[in-house]
Amino acid sequence: MTVLEIRGLTVAVEDTEILTGVDLTIRSGETHAIMGPNGSGKSTLAYAIAGHPKYTVTGGTVTLDGEDVLAMSVDERARAGLFLAMQYPVEVPGVSVSNFLRSAATAVRGEAPKLRLWVKEQKEAMGRLEMDPAFAERNVNEGFSGGEKKRHEILQLELLQPRIAVLDETDSGLDVDALRVVSEGVNRVRATGETGVLLITHYTRILNYITPDFVHVFVKGRIVEQGGPELADELEKNGYAKYGPEAKAPLHARSLPAGPVFGGAVTPA
């Protein structure tokens, strides 16, 4: 069983401390949802796990099956089985989706997939996500709509089958149909029992499709409460008022923040 263990994690951006002591354990086959108000540090946690250089770890530990994640480079984390689906996937001009995916799979699997089998595997995965096969020859995310970018993130997830997947507001900007398709892709990966999922979201709508095992409330850079799926329903109804004056706005009244841009899903260079 894969175990990602976070203990006492503190993270700063420039001179501002964002994470103030995060403790969280994620095992393969488990789905953890993190919910919290804007500015609480949810995305900071995702990018710190991935190794974004903007985020400075000032204390604590992150281990994957006992191995020190914080000592790894970004590509080493990806090879070890960590995956990040970004809120705002970036464009990669000059690199086709097909070449990008096969290069990533080669790095993760340790050898290049046989071309004929790979084409079939990729085509079938794109079909499940209702993606036009022509997307395989387009440059990564270039000219893609928001929904197309998110489907491409989940396409990577399905093909790479990571040990731990961090999904940062994957539901952001999706219409109802795209949300259903993307959620079904996540659920297919969950059904293998081999991947632990950390799902970061503002809203419960994605949790109508992806049922979490655990829900964690994130306020001011740390987890302040945890429970089962019923906790998400409570948050949808009452918002974060009970956690302090900085978190009073009900969920539907808050706008999504602009997030950092870093490389698409965390796959090897």
Q: Residue 236 region, left (φ>0) first, then alpha (ψ -120 to 50), else beta?
A: alpha
| pLDDT exceeds cutoff 50 at 265 | no
C-alpha–C-alpha distance, residues 65 and 67, integer Å = 6
The stretch 205-232 carries a mean pLDDT of 95
| pLDDT exceeds cutoff 50 at 118 | yes
Q: Which of 201, 180, 194 is nearest to 129 (CA)?
A: 180
Token pair of 46 as six digits:
């995702």
pLDDT above 70 as % of the chain: 91
Q: Specify the pairing of strand 214-219 against strand 196-200.
A: unpaired
The stretch 55-71 carries a mean pLDDT of 97
Task: Report the pLDDT value the prediction gives residue 15, as an integer from 0 to 100.
Answer: 87
Token pair of 203 as six digits:
């809203």
Q: Specify the pairing of strand 196-200 against strand 164-168.
A: parallel
| pLDDT exceeds cutoff 80 at 255 | no
**Which residue is associated with the tokens 């503002």?**
202
Q: Which of 232, 158, 180, 244 is nearest to 201 (CA)?
A: 232
What's the pLDDT tens digit per position in 227-247? 999 999 999 898 888 887 655
Q: Count CB neighbours of 7 within 10 A.
A: 14
The stretch 212-219 carries a mean pLDDT of 96
| pLDDT exceeds cutoff 60 at 266 | no
What φ, ψ does residue 67 adopt, rounded to 5°? -90, 140
| pLDDT exceeds cutoff 90 at 218 | yes
CB 60 within 8 A of CB 10: yes
**Which residue is associated with the tokens 């959620």?**
183
Task: Report the pLDDT value the prediction gives residue 91, as an integer from 0 to 100.
Answer: 87
Q: Where in 36-110 does DSSP place strands (E)? A: 56-64, 67-68, 82-85, 92-96
What's the pLDDT tens digit per position in 171-194? 988 999 999 999 999 999 999 999
Q: What is the mean pLDDT of the chain?
A: 89
What's the pLDDT tens digit per position in 136-181? 999 999 999 888 999 999 999 999 999 999 999 999 889 999 999 9
The stretch 25-31 carries a mean pLDDT of 97
CB 48 within 8 A of CB 22: no
Task: Report the pLDDT value the prediction gives residue 269, as an integer from 0 to 100.
Answer: 34
| Residue 244 Cα to chain centre, angstroms | 27
For 245, which DSSP code?
G
Token pair of 146 as six digits:
């928001």
What φ, ψ does residue 228 adopt, rounded to 5°? -95, -165
Q: How far is CA 109 from CA 79, 101, 102, in A?
A: 8, 12, 10
